């Protein structure tokens, strides 16, 4: 493996080991095991794969997995009732409602119904506000995973220009807050950005989360830049179905200093951070002091 590759698969498995160790210490102290409830609505094939992986890894770290698979036709009120039930269930410390939800359901309403202290996705307005205020909060899993990878390279990004491509609530916006906390100068780009290429050429760090296969080419990037590729795009090449990121990996590899591969980069970090968030959410619910994130990860 090239020494330019950031091995998210390895780093995520180390994090899951640490979560398992801290979870078992918490159980020894309190007699309680963290529980993660996952709610899947409908038959979206990608969501089904993600949820299956989340459940498998939850069980692997020794947590309880609570699964709710609902029909595409479920009403908004039925979903709200389920969230209320999980909010009040003392065997559930974390709640994740897999997105996207069907169009007839108002996702914001459902996400804001989750108790902020059980919001392991970090999507509740209370957690979003805390993140942007620099306060302790549950942080969305994918950007948290990206920030852990970046912190392995450098904890302080003073003087560095970070460019995020994509302004979603799941990745782009929370990623900007985390990079600001690390003292980077941050630019968020999106579909209406003029001359995206030249903005990227100025970046020391690029986080690509746009959902367009292999959009970022080597002539878009600065020599020695760090590339974090959040994209997971299923495409067909040479009559084979493959996964590619938002960055043209082969093209950028020689020019960048470090890059996350797809698969095996950011993807596995997202699940590891979901388990990390479930662990972090469990301490206050079990009346225990929450350790620092850095003391868990060290």
Which parts of this chain interact with ligand GUN (CB under 6 A)? 96-99, 121, 141-142, 170
- Cα–Cα–Cα angle for 15, 21, 23, rounded to 5 degrees: 100
Query: H or E segment at 155?
Result: none
Query: H or E segment at 165?
Result: strand 161-165
Nearest to 39 by CA among 141, 140, 121: 121
Smallest distance from ligand GUN to CB 146, Å: 12
285 is catalytic: no
Q: Do residues 121 and 111 make contact, with C-beta atoms less than 8 angstroms apart?
A: yes
Smallest distance from ligand GUN to CB 140, Å: 6
User: 4 vs 115, which CB is nearer to ligand GUN?
Assistant: 115
C-alpha 212: how far from its chain's center? 18
Smallest distance from ligand GUN to CB 26, Å: 24
C-alpha 167: how far from its chain's center? 14
- Specify whether the backbone of 214 is left (phi greater than 0), alpha (psi in -120 to 50) or beta: left
Smallest distance from ligand GUN to CB 266, Å: 11
User: 23 vs 267, which CB is nearer to ligand GUN?
Assistant: 267
Closest CB to ligand GUN: residue number? 99
121 is catalytic: yes
Q: Do residues 227 and 259 make contact, with C-beta atoms less than 8 angstroms apart?
A: yes
Tokens of 260: 């996350």
Q: Exactly one of 93, 118, 119, 121 is catalytic; which is it?
A: 121
Nearest to 277 by CA among 110, 136, 125, 80: 136
Smallest distance from ligand GUN to CB 296, Å: 20
User: 99 vs 297, which CB is nearer to ligand GUN?
Assistant: 99
Q: Do residues 183 and 144 make contact, with C-beta atoms less than 8 angstroms apart?
A: no
User: 97 vs 259, which CB is nearer to ligand GUN?
Assistant: 97
Between the CA of residue 124 and those of 8, 17, 32, 138, 282, what are the distances in Å? 27, 28, 25, 9, 17
Tokens of 37: 């409830």
C-alpha 220: how far from its chain's center? 25
User: 26 vs 171, which CB is nearer to ligand GUN?
Assistant: 171
Q: Where are the beta strands (DSSP E) in 191-257?
A: 205-208, 226-229, 233-237, 240-244
Strands 205-208 and 226-229, by their bridges, are parallel
User: 142 vs 225, which CB is nearer to ligand GUN?
Assistant: 142
Smallest distance from ligand GUN to CB 270, Å: 6
Q: Which residues are catalytic?
A: 54, 98, 121
């Amino acid at each position: 493996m090239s020494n330019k590759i950031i091995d998210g698969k390895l780093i995520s498995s180390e994090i899951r080991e640490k979560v398992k160790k801290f979870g078992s210490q918490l159980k020894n102290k309190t007699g309680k095991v963290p529980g993660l409830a996952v709610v899947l609505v409908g038959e979206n094939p990608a969501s089904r794969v993600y949820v299956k992986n989340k459940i498998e890894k939850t069980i692997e770290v020794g947590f309880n997995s609570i699964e709710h698979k609902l029909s595409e036709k479920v009403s908004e009120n039925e979903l709200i009732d389920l969230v209320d039930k999980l909010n009040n269930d003392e065997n559930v410390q974390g709640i994740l409602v897999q997105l996207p939800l069907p169009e007839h359901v108002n996702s914001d309403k459902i996400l804001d119904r989750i108790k902020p202290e059980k919001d392991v996705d970090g999507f509740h307005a209370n957690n979003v506000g805390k993140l942007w205020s620099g306060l302790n909060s549950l942080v969305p899993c994918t950007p948290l995973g990206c920030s852990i990878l970046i912190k392995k390279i450098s904890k302080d990004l003073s003087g560095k220009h970070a460019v995020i491509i994509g302004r979603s609530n799941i990745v782009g916006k929370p990623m900007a807050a985390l990079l600001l906390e690390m003292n980077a100068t941050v630019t968020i780009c999106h579909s209406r950005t003029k001359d995206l290429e030249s903005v990227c050429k100025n970046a020391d760090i690029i986080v690509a989360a746009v959902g367009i296969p292999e959009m970022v080419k080597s002539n878009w990037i600065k020599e020695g830049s760090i590339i974090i590729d959040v994209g997971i795009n299923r495409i067909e090449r040479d009559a084979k179905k493959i996964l590619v990121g938002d960055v043209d990996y082969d093209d950028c590899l020689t020019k960048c200093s470090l890059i996350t591969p797809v698969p095996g980069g950011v993807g596995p970090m997202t699940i590891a951070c979901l388990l990390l968030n479930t662990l972090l959410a469990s301490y206050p619910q079990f009346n225990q002091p929450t350790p620092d994130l850095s003391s868990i990860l060290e």
